[in-house]
Homo-oligomer: A and B are copies of this chain.
Amino acid sequence: MSNTKIWTKVDYEQDGKQNGWLQLPHSVTRSAYGNIAIPITVIRNGSGPTVLLMAGNHGDEYEGQIALCKLIRELQPGEIQGRVIVLPAANLPAAMAGVRTSPIDEGNLNRSFPGDADGTPTYAIAHYINTVLYPMADLFQDVHSGGSSLQYLPFASMRVGPDAALNDRALSALRAFGAPIGLVWDHSPDQRLSQVAAIGQGLVALGGEFGGGGAVSRRGVAIVERGLRNVLAHAGVIERSRAEGDFDGPTRLMQVKGRDYYVYAPEAGLFEPAVELGAQVRAGELCGHVHFVDNPGRAPERCCFERDGMVICQRHYGRVERGDCVVHLATPFEG
């Protein structure tokens, strides 16, 4: 049982639709007995699988936040069999501030699992999800985008975990989502992600990146809305007829398998990219230049690709520090 300090008036076992809040006690000067009120919706109808849908893991990734707000208002208990739990703004302080990490504790929720009941708010949220919500769920999807600093070609995704059977089930769910691209992450130097923790508890876990730059992609929202319906149907929570089918064609599976897929800025300055999102590139080709606007007589620094691939992600902001990822690639999925 969880020793979380988060409390809520929402009853996970009750039929119907409840819009409520997770109340995370946060005792500060402006409110000695204050709480951070994180919105949560539970829609339940009898027995059946539980799907946990989450957005706002990073506060500046909006397609999922919007799609889940719409789903919360549109999806009715009578349409489902089982339970849908929705966290449209999981790291609420970050979502309200429109930034990646919480302005309260600088916490990156997706680097905070398995969490800590007595830690700062971001750790306490991770702990609640990990100890209260995951044990209730069968399938979990955490909807991301590139956030303020990155632009992505839209895709749904899964992560390769240690359990081959679970990987197969996730791949099946990924295809069911029906995004134009399905990305298989096979390179995970960090284990503190929401999906890694979910996989560790045996959940089928999906992710996805549906836009970026701190903006709202209309196409990204549309892909998420349709894809979530597809996933709910795939899980057996709604009927197939209520889902909306695939996009323009079958999902194209791709993968990321190592650090050499990533290109990093070699200097601080103003980065001028040499390629567009979606471009096919080869090892050694120019990725971009770093310009020095405070000293324009200084020659720009070049940076190049280390391997072949497709540009699936680009840095959004013009200014870079040394070490910032400016591009990452993907290659066709090889199973």
Contacts and interface: CB of A to CB of B under 8 A. Distances in A.
Interface of A: 5, 7, 19, 21, 23, 25, 27-37, 39, 41, 56, 58, 60, 62, 65-66, 68-69, 72-73, 88-89, 92, 95-101, 106, 108, 110-111, 118, 146-151, 189-190, 192, 213-216, 218, 221, 259, 262, 264, 267, 270-274, 276, 291-297, 299-300, 315-325, 328
A60 B29 contact: yes
A293 B88 contact: yes
Given A73-B296, A272-B66, A291-B66, A108 B317 contact: no
Contact of A149 (B31, B88, B259, B325): B31
21 contacts: A7-B259, A27-B100, A28-B106, A29-B100, A29-B149, A30-B149, A31-B315, A31-B320, A32-B58, A34-B323, A35-B323, A41-B297, A62-B270, A69-B293, A73-B296, A96-B294, A98-B319, A213-B215, A215-B317, A216-B270, A295-B322
A6 to B, nearest CB: 10
Contacts of A23: 264, 323
A123 to B, nearest CB: 11
Contact of A34 (B72, B89, B97, B325): B325
B37 A322 contact: yes
User: How many copies of this chain sit in the oligomeric assembly?
Assistant: 6
A34 B321 contact: yes
Given A100-B27, A148-B29, A216-B318, A324 B273 contact: no
Contacts of A321: 30-31, 34, 37
B216 A72 contact: no
A321 to B, nearest CB: 7
A153 to B, nearest CB: 15
Given A28-B106, A32-B150, 12 more contacts: A21-B323, A25-B190, A32-B149, A34-B323, A65-B293, A69-B291, A69-B296, A88-B296, A89-B293, A213-B213, A213-B214, A221-B272
